Amino acid sequence: MFRNASLAATTMAASRKAARHHNEADLQARAFTAYRRFARPGEPVLKLDTARADVIEIRGRWYVILTAGTRRVAVFRVRTDDKLKRLVRLPRELQGDED
């Protein structure tokens, strides 16, 4: 297969990165699951009929934004290891369009 271990690692990392950006449905489903599983006290229940998940890129980083109607309920950043991290503060680019 690969004779050089670093070449193999680089190739695998590149394919993992490409796969992450092309599989928006998986990121959206994982964001809904994470929101339900780790909901903070007092947060509204997210109903699937009014909820939407958008995957966007800002400055080379990928985010999943959960909205219910016109209200943004959660923002997750897609880490380099493909895990979702819920953000406490929004990126500057998203702060201007607060509801």
22 confidence band (pLDDT: 50, 70, 90): low
21 confidence band (pLDDT: 50, 70, 90): low
Per-residue pLDDT, 68: 84
Per-residue pLDDT, 91: 84
Using one digit for the tens of pLDDT, what is the confidence trace for 68-81? 888 888 899 999 88
What residue spans define the domains of the chain? 24-95
Q: Which of 22, 41, 20 is nearest to 84 (CA)?
A: 20
16 confidence band (pLDDT: 50, 70, 90): very low
d(CA 80, CA 40): 25
Model-wide pTM > 0.85: no
